[in-house]
Structure 1
Amino acid sequence: MSTETPRRTRRREETTRLFAEIEQATSDEERDRLRDEVVVVNLELARTLAGRYRNRGVAVEDLEQVASLALVQAVRRFLPEPGRDFLSYAVPTIRGELRKHFRDLGWIVRPPRRIQENQSRVVAAFEHRTPEGEQRTAKDVADLLGISVEDVEEAMQAQGCFHASSLDLPVGPDSTTTVAESLVRSDDETEAAENRATLEPMIACLRERDRLILRMRYVEDWTQQEIADAIGVTQMQVSRLLRRILKDLRELAAAS
């Protein structure tokens, strides 16, 4: 039984009719007018697809513009054939342009291309639960996408790279010390400002726990064992976490 809504059915039928008229049109002017009508009929579809990417660090107005332009391109490139539906062509085209927009323009800090390409796939995979209704683990996502667990973790760490947190935010709920004050200890105000500008987007790309570990170790001067006790891991794990966090920061700095 079809689950298609009446609105979608009408849109599909109207689109099919307009493409049939385009095939019969006798002038370029008439074909362009009919193509414009196809765009108008399907504009809601483009906006809906753009809306699925909201709250990921890019203004929804920009996303809608990208989706609308992709719709125009799809209308102009589509070749009607028996049994070939326009929506089955337009939807992947629009999604592809939205993902390309994120990959090419949506990063404040630009990770390696491999991580950029994995990021949207990994986030989408985590949004869906397993067939048993459970939250997917990193291994579940890795197996589903055919990549390594390390690739999944790198992609998730890149989530924050679409937007940077303000350096004026406090380092904790009960603290009056700002992120900038906790990260930079320099008497040279010019140098401090440059360091803050460099660190801001890179720190924003770290997970919340990674930022906490950095603050405890290098701002509050906790020992590795004290950190381990606080977050419930071993001292050896803290040592490995610190090495990995510093490695991530160096890679982000090299890629920016």
Structure 2
Amino acid sequence: MKKVANATTYLDMDTKELFKMYNKDKDREIRNILIEKNLYLVNILAKKYMNKGVEFEDIYQVASLGLIYAIDRYDIDKGFEFSSFATPTIMGEIKKYFRDKVWTLRVPRRVQELSKKISEARVFLEQKNKKHPKVKEIAEYIGCREEDVLEAMEASYGYQPISLDASSNDDSEDKDITLIDKIGKEESSFGNIEQKDFINKFMENLNELELKIFKERFFLDKTQSAIANELEISQMTVSRIERKIIEKLKKEYEKNV
């Protein structure tokens, strides 16, 4: 019964107070509460990588692991907001997962086998004719259609990655242009505008009390106890309303993803 009471108390506590206690005692129960309170970050960041050839559950697990790392490494005394500290940590784990585990495309075995034959034919014909073979010559040597050769050659890039520093290999006059020169860059200001617009629309759906708590907690960085004293209500009430706001925010975000 004591553990249940403690868990309930922890749930109603301010996140910063929980971090102070966790940094001091490394209590696993407090860490579990911190994980629960911040899982919304995992959900938001993991959804950015949906439809990229990996199951969402796998990305979610990797992001959750990143959240745990962030909680263990976070030092509240340095003055950073936890969400600002945790986001790059979680993103880093997701990107590392993609880099280490999912950097190649899955291609059918038929195409893989044909690609191997093409490589062998290319070497043979090049040595025989002293020049690079054409697709038609490779197709005739292997005994398949030119379309099949082209398909296998294109798919082979999935498991034989090309350096972004390699030449673009096009017909332009400037041969010094590399592939990375042709990759567009995301304009960060667009994302900031989009996020600001989302937050402004979200706040329109909050009542007066929710709006005040939302602004003072997430914009002015006030503690729950300070807001409770200002509004002359209990800290538990502030905590309950804050959880309600976060739940609304998550649902609104999921609708817009």
* TM-score range normalised by the length of the shorter chain: 0.3 to 0.5
Q: TM-score, normalized by length of structure 2?
A: 0.40
